[in-house]
Structure 1
Amino acid sequence: MFSLGKGREALPVKAPSCRLETARLVLRPAVIDDYPQWRKVRAENYDYLKPFEPAWPPKCLEEEFFQRRVARLNRDWIEDRTYAFLVLLKDETLIGGMNINNVARGAAQYGSLGYWLAENAQGHGYMTEAAAAVLQHAFTKLAFERINAATLPHNEKSKSMLKRLGFAEEGFAKSYVQIDGVRADHVLFGLTLEDYSMHALRMRTEDRG
């Protein structure tokens, strides 16, 4: 059991029991043993991911940072705040990550979808496949009634993926969040439970031919 240190709240490291599988992928919470390949993939993709992510904090690739991150995410999962998945190939090769963040319950019942994918894994439909599994879990197991998403205006891959998954483009937010150290405009998307159910039914019907 890993502790945040003397005088701080001890947090569980053991990952929540959740494993999503698709035809080509496995999605699960991170564990401490993931650190070597997590560091390798994130370091190799620094230049590629930097323009699309909030500024990386100091020492973010160090092992202690990763341990604290895993502990925090596990606590947030247990407390219904964030659901963070690693995206791996069937052989457990790490290729990305996907989160449901900013969970709001009560009258809201929504969360926000976030994701990243390594450069060498682009162009194979992995992110769409992973997102479809996470959305199914979110709506059918976690009882969300809406999932939000936001993307940079020039990120055409992300916008196309969200639309394929049934998200509707809902608006434009100036200076929405900090990306690479600068407040950045974002295009806003949303997917309701009703629209998700209709989209899923349509996809099943098309698959049957």
Structure 2
Amino acid sequence: MFRLDPEHTLRPVRSGDGAALARAYSDNRAHLAPWEPARSEEFFTAEWQERDVRRTVEEAQSGRSMRFVITTRDGRIRGRMNLNGIVRGAFQNGDLGYWVAADATKHGLATRAVDAVLRHARDSLGLRRVQAATLLHNVASQRVLAANGFTRIGVAPRYLEIAGEWQDHVLFQRLLEKSVTEPSARP
């Protein structure tokens, strides 16, 4: 568990999070729609989310991914941070994805949460590289990545199907061999 600020904590997804995730996704449905794959109605139910939580916990136990939620002191989920597609061997890499609730943006929460995930990826998971992709016009997410030392490595045409369309993405990477941004350097 990582304390992000006096009100927010980052912790791994755990069994029983389904209902809170369903509420968070439902509350942020319009906010997230332009940035995520098209979602079925079932996706927004506690049952679907709890099934996904079980899969998420199994993947974490097997080392294939590590997924986190940003929570408030009262337990509300205010965002997600995901390290997906963890590859070991000669690569030691994971793919970063994240979102923060609409009313929690522009306060540095995503920047602090990404920093915590990078520290965990390096210190606990032993990864040496984390990559991320954003839509070309997702300037806010690109700022979060830049604040955490990511560098742009290219553009991938029609990389992911987002909001029902195959869209181009900017690709970024962060090498974790050097120290992750120190807390005093965070915005």
* Alignment TM-score, normalising by the size of structure 1: 0.82
Match of 1:56 among 14, 39, 50: 39
Match of 1:131 among 111, 114, 122: 114
Q: Which residue of 2 aligns with 1:121?
A: 104
Instruction: Please give the root-mean-square deviation of Cα atoms over the aligned residues, in Å.
Output: 1.8
CA contact (8 A) 1:26 1:92 kept: no
Match of 1:175 among 134, 143, 158: 158
Stretches of structure 2 lacking an aligned partner (at least 5 in a row):
none
Stretches of structure 1 lacking an aligned partner (at least 5 in a row):
1-18
Q: Which residue of 1 aligns with 2:94?
A: 111
Offset at 1:92?
2.3
Residues 98-150 of structure 1: per-residue CA shift (max 9 Å, x gap) = 00001111111000110011101111111011111111010111000000000
Max radius of gyration: which structure?
Answer: 1
**SS of 1:56's equivalent?**
coil
For 1:64 and 1:118, the matched residues in 2 are separated by 21
1:70 maps onto 2:53 in alignment: yes
CA contact (8 A) 1:146 1:191 kept: yes
Q: Which residue of 2 aligns with 1:21?
A: 3
Name the stretch that deviates more: 54-63 or 174-183: 54-63
Offset at 1:205?
7.5
Residues 7-39 of structure 1: per-residue CA shift (max 9 Å, x gap) = xxxxxxxxxxxx222333211223343333322
For 2:163 and 2:140, the matched residues in 1 are separated by 19
**SS of 1:33's equivalent?**
coil
1:141 maps onto 2:124 in alignment: yes
**SS of 1:60's equivalent?**
helix
For 2:152 and 2:61, the matched residues in 1 are separated by 31
Cα distance change of structure 1 residues 128 and 65 upon mapping to structure 2, 3 Å threshold: same
Q: 5 Å matches for 1:70-109?
A: 70-109=53-92
For 1:31 and 1:142, the matched residues in 2 are separated by 18
After the TM superposition, list the runs of 4 or more consecutive aligned residues in structure 1 that deviate by more than 6 angstroms.
none
